[in-house]
A and B are shown apart, each in its own frame.
Chain A
């Protein structure tokens, strides 16, 4: 029986700049729209964690597929940029492949799977394991930008709560977790406080990634297309996960290492490999995993002793 190979190792090199297809504006959006979005981004950078409304456009894909992230990327990308797109940590999922292809066609930019080669990384649900640098921009796709929404349905009220720093209700939701389960069980989209001021939804990244946001050298931009909001965390800005004194914030840990590369420090996905329900754990960040394997690291190969290759 063959084993599912989670991450292909071939065709991962940076692809050369493509010829732009004719008839579209650079990066699809017209210049006025890009300006408008850039103004929103500038404001967002100036007020870290604050949700700036913007005139979200109809994009050639449905809401929920990254329309917010794409508009932000389109506004900041230039001909010399190299774009990486990941979805759940992987470069090869449908969403990631298509967004990468979209910009290759409309902006003619180079694309890559390699974190270190990218100047812009658009992401859904993960932050790369490889530390980012000042030369990079991380663009998050955000479904629900309002961290208070779950507890306060009125937009007028949540805006007021942000304005007046009334954030007690965020701890109410954490309190509920502890009361019910004895610990904070929220594992993704874990609320953070940015620069000691605004409480922000980090998008549905696992809380494992929250510490990476803190004082990250790269600029972090967040785009929510349906909700028409942009927010940002400038480089080297404090991002603190909310918690209680006696129930401090903690990230997930695994007893296993990655079955492919043996990494013990990365976020692992559980993969069911056969009809008997045999599991293996592999890095969610496919590029990180590949780099480690190329450097000679080997995991225990999971359930099949022969390893997946």
Chain B
């Protein structure tokens, strides 16, 4: 059942490429209603690029982003990802391979914080590093620096984020991803519930990531943020399946 490493090649500089991607939902418990979100979708993003997904609400931006993360299962097509020296197709890879890609190559910031209850904030941010073998002391230092930069008061670090405000939870979520330097980042409205100051900090973080070479695909509600971080735009409106 083990799939061999995908032999398909990505052109130099391309980090992620979707080909012929289609996503639809069949709601079996609601009379089998079929919702077609998009189909025949091609997209690629290269090193140092920040691709903005554009389109009105309901155009399928989040569904696309989730499909690129293998959180949603596309009905057709492939999502090729440059992982170390190989290329992995997230649509056909084994779960453990996908998890390995997510662990080291593909970062994702969702709109909602979803973590184990009762785990202190600092531990949540430290964990992705220690899992990768970073020395715990160094991991803690890096996590602390990032949390401080995102204006999470140190007094809160020892507390689980469940009781935090929406904005604080959003920033913890961002910290959990940005604490390591992912080669590819998928961002779903990371600045949605942030005030101006914090929005600027996150904008800076995204831009720094892009400058160090990360390939970024993002959904940004805020036009100002789009202008600040985006290098290219991809409009889903015309991709919307009929």
Is there a direct interface between A and B, measured as CB atoms under 8 Å apart in the complex?
A: no
Q: Which residues of A contact B (CB under 8 A)?
A: none
Q: Which residues of B contact A (CB under 8 A)?
A: none
